[in-house]
Structure 1
Amino acid sequence: MITIRDIARKANVSIATVSRILNNDKTLSVSDETREKILKIVDELGYKPLRKRDVKKQDDKVENALNIGILLAYSEQDEANDPYFLSIRQGIEKECSEKFINISSIVRLDGNKFNFDLNEFDGLIVVGGIEAKDFKNLYNNRNVVFVDHAYEIDEYDSVISSFEKATENVIDYLVSMGHKEIGYIGGRKTVKRITSNEVIEIEDVRLQVYRKKMKELGLYSERNIYIGDWNPSGGYKAMKGAIENGSLPSAFIIASDPMSTGALHALHEANINVPDDVAIISFDDIESAAYLNPPLTTVKTYTEEMGKAAVKLLLERARGREIPIQVVVPTKLIIRKSCGGNDSDYSGYIFYS
């Protein structure tokens, strides 16, 4: 039986790309040559979607009938600047491809007036900060999974990463290494309202835990917090500001690897050595983190698995589960040279949260 995986392998593209082309996703940026190549391979191999085959299992019928939408609270530029959200979306698309679920549309909240009828979907996966009460008035279905944002509303499923425990672990680790002045660099966390395009700024959970934990330890200082954009430029400007303010902390927790890339550049420019002068621990573990100078100690987040988990929750809902579930995906701290420590720590010291 020919699958999307076979087509992707022969075309030398991702499974998600094949799926989105077959589903006529107009938001996909791909060349006409690649599109034609994939469609030609589809014809050559005689591929037929599962929904056109003779399906016997009831679960397969449910999956086969689902027509889902993905609602994204961020722009294509945000996705390009920070691969965190891109990886979540790719996880959703891969799992849908594996289960032959049709992704009807990918809708982004781009600041324009929202005029999309969400009720045409059998289910929705919402990625990023979207105001749930507002959303509730636009969609008359409980087949919804929110990813990367937890809500007080108890009707919906959600998938989040264990940033709270991870941040506590990072602070404990830095304190155990003798650091007392620990700074924080992070981005602005927002929640969007669909009906009004209003953007509400909220405090990121990592910053919340940082404030609480540092106060409990008697080490808190508001001057050690720097907030910028979620990209290398934002990290560069934040660290530049910290350097210019004087009394630079001996360690920093930085909320994303792209921000850490810019922060490291600012430190190098100022001839401040990492980790001898300033230790750095980041979040994400993007591919380039291990190849920075010095290699970046970072909290690995399993973003692709978050996307896959969202699809599985949505299927369970479609099959009749009524009780909402929240999945908290664990993280893993990977020790590399940017935080200092002993050489023996660099390759083997990890812990989960």
Structure 2
Amino acid sequence: MATLKDIAARAGVSLATVSRVLNDDVSLSVTTETRDRVMTIAKEMNYQGVRRKATVRKSKTLRVGLVYWYSEEQELEDPYYLSVRLGVERACVDRSINLVKLYKNQDTFRIRNDAALDGIIAVGKFSIEDLDEFKKWADKLVLVDFTPTDEVDSVVVDFRKAMIDVLRHLIELGHERIGYIGGHEYVHGDELIKDEREVTFYEYLSLYHTFYPEFIWTGKFTAEDGYAMMKEALKLDKGPSAFIMGSDTMAIGAMRALHEKGVRVPEQVSIVGFNDIEMSRYLQPSLTTIQVHTEYMGEAAIDLLLEQINLKRSIPKKVVLPTSLLVRESSGPYTG
């Protein structure tokens, strides 16, 4: 009777590769040629169960619940979450996964009792109580953009490294007075979520540069608040010569406020955004920003969910995605 070890030796691959190929592990990164070779050898050696397993896997259409944290109106104000959500949806389409979309109703999430789900992907910020509710619908769960607990799979962005990259960029340009205009987010309306960018801004400047506590403004991640908070910042007699914005959307509002006051960017004030939305490259001047690879967040979330379902993985896994600093025209040397 053929064994997995026999198939691996004949195919010239590892035992783990054979096991994952025969179990239709879609997260396995091997060529189509390797997959076909392993399947062919398994059939030639009459490995028991290979046809049955392949049939079961191919006939099973997964149903995944996609939970939205933002409303459609909020997504239009801050397209970051829209981009993340679309990345999840594209990944599901690519893998022929059926989506059941779940929207927040007041402070609760609703789902039909007959909507059996194989797993849940939740995009946004959620409380422990929310996670307990999700687990009633499906025991396989992946969070995107938030990690309130180490007991659940998650996909997050390395915002700490991103903020350090931006600060180093501005410090190298000679800026001493650096400000931050960001936003605060909440779960259940009043539970404040720590923003890693704001925390890193404070810690890094306190340790390695000069920190001005009066140079932090927070509101919502909208163009309106970016505009309003920049107007407040401009009231200072000797304010920042460079601003880091919590989102590109906020940066757009801030640049309008600067334009209205006749403050030139970057000659008098440098601006750096976050997220690299489509519009940022077409601003005048074009916006220096942190590129967040939202398209991969959805792909990584689906891969984690499939690992739980197909490989029966029970140990939680956290995927941290890197960012890229895109230097454009809105950041320049300090001129005094």
Instruction: Note whether the superposition's TM-score is higher than 0.5.
Output: yes
CA contact (8 A) 1:67 1:102 kept: yes
Instruction: Indicate which of 68, 74, 89 corresponds to 1:72.
Output: 68
Specify every segment of 5 or more residues in structure 1 that has no aligned partner in the other structure, as ranges. Answer: 1-53, 193-197, 343-353
SS in 1 for 2:234: helix
CA shift at 1:134, angstroms? 4.2
1:287-319 C-alpha deviation (Å, 9 max, x unpaired): 111111111000000112101211111111111
Distance 1:98 1:113, change over 3 A: closer
Distance 2:259 2:53 in 1: 60
Distance 2:204 2:72 in 1: 35
CA shift at 1:58, angstroms? 5.0
**Is 2:99 the counterpart of 1:103?**
yes
Corresponding residue for residue 333 of structure 1:
325
Task: Kindly report which structure 2 residues correspond to 1:119-268, keeping only aligned pairs within 5 A, or say none.
Answer: 120-140=116-136, 141-154=138-151, 156-192=152-188, 198-268=189-259
Distance 1:163 1:88 in 2: 15
Distance 2:65 2:112 in 1: 11
CA contact (8 A) 1:132 1:153 kept: no
**Is 2:295 the counterpart of 1:304?**
yes
CA shift at 1:59, angstroms? 4.3
Task: Kindly report which structure 2 residues correspond to 1:1-80, keeping only aligned pairs within 5 A, or say none.
Answer: 56=54, 59-61=57-59, 64-80=60-76
Corresponding residue for residue 11 of structure 1:
none
Corresponding residue for residue 274 of structure 2:
283
Corresponding residue for residue 20 of structure 2:
none
Matched residues, number:
280
Distance 2:67 2:109 in 1: 12
Residue 234 of structure 2 aligns with an amino acid whose one-letter code is I
CA RMSD of aligned residues (A): 2.2
Corresponding residue for residue 32 of structure 1:
none
Corresponding residue for residue 262 of structure 2:
271
Residue 169 of structure 1 aligns with an amino acid whose one-letter code is D
What percent identity do the matched residue pairs reach?
37
TM-score, scaled relative to structure 2: 0.78
CA shift at 1:258, angstroms? 0.5
Instruction: Indicate which of 312, 322, 329 corresponds to 2:314.
Output: 322
Specify every segment of 5 or more residues in structure 2 that has no aligned partner in the other structure, as ranges. Answer: 1-51
TM-score, scaled relative to structure 1: 0.75
Q: Which runs of 4+ in 1 moved over 3 A?
A: 54-61, 112-120
Corresponding residue for residue 29 of structure 2:
none
CA shift at 1:65, angstroms? 3.1
CA contact (8 A) 2:120 2:134 kept: no
SS in 1 for 2:161: helix
1:194-241 C-alpha deviation (Å, 9 max, x unpaired): xxxx44122311001101111112411221001122111111011011
CA contact (8 A) 2:150 2:316 kept: no
Distance 1:110 1:239 in 2: 34
Residue 326 of structure 1 aligns with an amino acid whose one-letter code is K
**Structure of higher CA gyration radius:** 2
